[in-house]
Structure 1
Amino acid sequence: MMSRIHLLFFGLCLIISSRASAQSQTEVEIRGEQFFINGKPTYEGRVWNGKKIEGLLMNSRMVQGIFDDLNQETISNWQYPDTKTWDADRNTDEFIRHMAEWKSYGMLSFTLNLQGGSPFGYSQNQPWINSAFDEKGKMRKAYLGRLERILNEADRLGMVPIIGLFYFGQDENLVDEKAVIKAVTGLRDWVLKKDYRNVLIEVNNECNIRYDHAILQPERVHELIELMKKPAKSGRRLLVSTSYGGGFIPLENVVRASDYVLLHGNGVKDPKRIAAIVDETRDVAGYTPKPIVYNEDDHFDFDQDLNNFTSAIGAYASWGYFDYRMKDEAFEEGYQSVPVDWGINSERKKGFFGLMKEITGY
């Protein structure tokens, strides 16, 4: 007969096994220029105003989903209006609470970043410390816990998060290149071990903007893309890219190394230029058919027939919404300014989600 200890051990193994199998409900693939989820192209069969939507990946910049501030001198900047305190777990809880709502409008992806983004939208100096990595590149458990909760919910919902690792203004919190490499390999191995099959990777946000470490800069960032693509023992590997500042045409080394190409539309006021950037990207040496994705663009005009969103999809590129709380605006505005209201309850947010729902047919 089995002893009580053996029964307990067997039961624990069953629990662990069931949790592991539950972690892979959603799998993303790339086939040519299209994204597939669980073997089917996204927005299967969808055409809008004569534009092919099937295979695209509509998204939003939600980089503060696991935000925290480890600098006690700046943490008071992020107080919630109701409690007058900052709460990192509340932020993640509220993020998760709205994910199903976002998907109901056709949003299949969102960008998180393990070093966030400017919690003021744009900023020159970043005295706060928001990093999932310590100074030697080791993952911080609290950040990993919050990330895991979001990825689990995305897996359940059939969503495909874009996980960014580094953000300029925070990368200098890692002491050297060795620490950067440790951060990359640590995150890669963690995602593969957890068997998340629903994620895309963005090595760093805007690699050509103020990074301290040379390996995060344009000339060498492809080294980290290749490192992140190294497979697990099972042979499975991650799908990886990186981004540049608004309007920048990706360089050959990144285009060749990337599984999909990331663009930013910040600073691009003319919607026609958004489409031209896509065309020029396809002309870069080394380009082969692969998805092109805008995952950051702070232009709106969603009530107009031609805007950056519609121009991007007209060129068969996915588009991503970037919104922050501008001067003197209410708490409800923006998704990057901390603290964040993750609901769809401002005119800009409603404009984006409404147009996305129309385009995707959700």
Structure 2
Amino acid sequence: MGKTVLSIEGTDFYINGKKVYEEIKGSRPEAHGLLMNARFIQGIFDDSEDPGRFHRFGRTFDPERNTDDLITALPEWYAHGLRAFTVGLQGGGPCFTLFNEKLHNNPFGEDGTSLDPAYANRLDRLIRAADEIGMVVIVSFFYFFQAEKLKNGRAILEATRTASRFLRQGGYTNVIIEIANEHDLTKKHSLLEYPEGIVALLEIARHESGGLPVGCSSTASFISEEVAKESDVVFYHGNGRTRQQYYNDVCQLRKWAPNAPIVCNEDSQAVGNMEVAARLHTSWGYYNNLTKQEPPTDWRITDGEDRFFAHRMAKIIGISLPEIPFEQQFYLQGLEKEITLDGKRWIRLASLYPETIDYVEFFRNGQLEYQSYDEPFLMNFVFNWYQSPSLEKPEDTEWKAVIHLKSGDVLEKKVLLK
């Protein structure tokens, strides 16, 4: 038995017999039992096709160092209240910079009966490090692009058994299984695409893992009554949803599964959604592709979006932290040298309280380039988790964000490039 023993009673999570966060002096009772989390999906990532393509952002990629760097960063996240994170056996998509299908990040053999020892070792190391400090690991088995490398439905069944048995043999007590990341996007295998297949895989995983809690996420538009009712943990992805849509979705899931905890384990940088989740006594998961899903990943709490999420999370829980001065509650992000790639920048206005912003104007060299009206205030907004890049120009000297607050106040954030 591990040091961190997760259990579930009704809609609440417990660690070592106490509601999560109950042990923190001064914590808010309404937060007790939640499991605030982040998507660290690339925690055991590798690419057998061409790992050298990830020597970028001024760093050299190494899969072992990648996992070790995440382990090193966990205590800082824990101190801000993070109690769980999702890691994928097949990772996720660095979709800002590469097409998913070009990668080969799959630890399963083609028939699903084997698990790559290097991946298994990194996962074991990561789970045990989390166990040491009191954190839960949500282990996601399948990612839609990589799942298509398994040859048929039998291979999906076998891979589910293989991964579940590995977790049982590890004796882990701090793990939740997510069968697939947005299962409905997997078009090659009907077992993963449709709720009926997921229900069967949930039962297999629960049995073969020795009773670990199980669940499965889908895109928000494809939430399923069958999957919700069969899940020990009801996973939800809030990507692209407004706060009202988020509320409506969670209310529907609660009607279907009133006695199970609901965990959003992927949303976006839109931390306003975290407030909606907390008011509904459901757990929220921070997802930032640019800082936490593009290898080589900087797993620390970096300036801007990471810092603001961590601070808001701590406040929701009731963890006392020094207040961030007003002028420092806004950060023009994406102009850091280390995340510029192939002449592309992903520029956005990060904010501690994005709900207070009416709109943001982005100026390039003094000329208005774009206006953003929806959280999280991305330049070239597509969804709340995705944006198109801006291409560098030789004549670029500065970028500026003019922030129009709902109060009527206006302030500026400027980055000089030369």
Task: Report the CA distance between 1:252 and its aligned residue.
Answer: 2.0
Within 5 Å, give how 1:1-362 maps onto structure 2.
24-44=2-22, 52-72=30-50, 75-83=51-59, 85-121=60-96, 125-137=100-112, 138-219=114-195, 220-230=197-207, 236-245=210-219, 247-248=220-221, 250-268=223-241, 270-284=242-256, 287-300=257-270, 302=271, 307-325=272-290, 334-362=291-319
Identity %: 34
Q: TM-score, normalized by length of structure 1? A: 0.83
Contact residue 44 and residue 123 of structure 2 kept, 8 A: yes
**Residues 138-192 of structure 1: per-residue CA shift (max 9 Å, x gap):** 1000000110110110111110110000001111111112221111111111111
Q: 2:84 corresponds to which letter in structure 1?
A: S
Contact residue 267 and residue 285 of structure 2 kept, 8 A: yes
Kindly tell me the number of residue pairs found equivalent between the two proteins: 317
Task: Report the CA distance between 1:82 and its aligned residue.
Answer: 3.9
Looking at both structures, which has the greater relative contact order when contacts are Cα pairs under 8 Å and sequence separation is at least 6? 1
Q: Secondary structure at the match of 2:145?
A: coil
Task: Report the CA distance between 1:29 and its aligned residue.
Answer: 0.6
Q: 1:144 corresponds to which letter in structure 2?
A: A
**Residues 78-116 of structure 1: per-residue CA shift (max 9 Å, x gap):** 114445x42111111111100111101000000000000
Q: Secondary structure at the match of 1:161?
A: strand
User: For residues 187 and 45 of structure 2, what CA distance do their matches in structure 1 show?
Assistant: 20
CA RMSD, 1 decimal: 2.1
User: For residues 102 and 78 of structure 1, what CA distance do their matches in structure 2 show?
Assistant: 25
Contact residue 4 and residue 131 of structure 2 kept, 8 A: yes
More strand by share: 2
Divergent runs of 4+, >4 A = 45-51, 121-125
For 2:366, the equivalent position in structure 1 comes to none
Q: Secondary structure at the match of 1:139?
A: coil
Q: 1:361 corresponds to which letter in structure 2?
A: G
User: For residues 55 and 215 of structure 1, what CA distance do their matches in structure 2 show?
Assistant: 33
Contact residue 115 and residue 165 of structure 1 kept, 8 A: yes
Contact residue 186 and residue 192 of structure 2 kept, 8 A: no
**Residues 97-137 of structure 1: per-residue CA shift (max 9 Å, x gap):** 00111101000000000000002358654111001212121
User: For residues 80 and 97 of structure 1, what CA distance do their matches in structure 2 show?
Assistant: 21
User: For residues 317 and 233 of structure 2, what CA distance do their matches in structure 1 show?
Assistant: 21
The gaps in structure 2 that reach 5 residues or longer are 320-418
Contact residue 169 and residue 211 of structure 1 kept, 8 A: no
For 1:9, the equivalent position in structure 2 comes to none
User: For residues 172 and 106 of structure 2, what CA distance do their matches in structure 1 show?
Assistant: 21
Contact residue 127 and residue 137 of structure 2 kept, 8 A: yes
Q: 1:279 corresponds to which letter in structure 2?
A: C
User: For residues 231 and 174 of structure 1, what CA distance do their matches in structure 2 show?
Assistant: 20
Q: 1:308 corresponds to which letter in structure 2?
A: N
Q: Secondary structure at the match of 2:183?
A: coil
Task: Report the CA distance between 1:225 and its aligned residue.
Answer: 0.4
Q: 1:280 corresponds to which letter in structure 2?
A: Q
User: For residues 288 and 96 of structure 2, what CA distance do their matches in structure 1 show?
Assistant: 8
For 2:354, the equivalent position in structure 1 comes to none
Q: Secondary structure at the match of 1:259?
A: coil
Q: Secondary structure at the match of 2:141?
A: strand
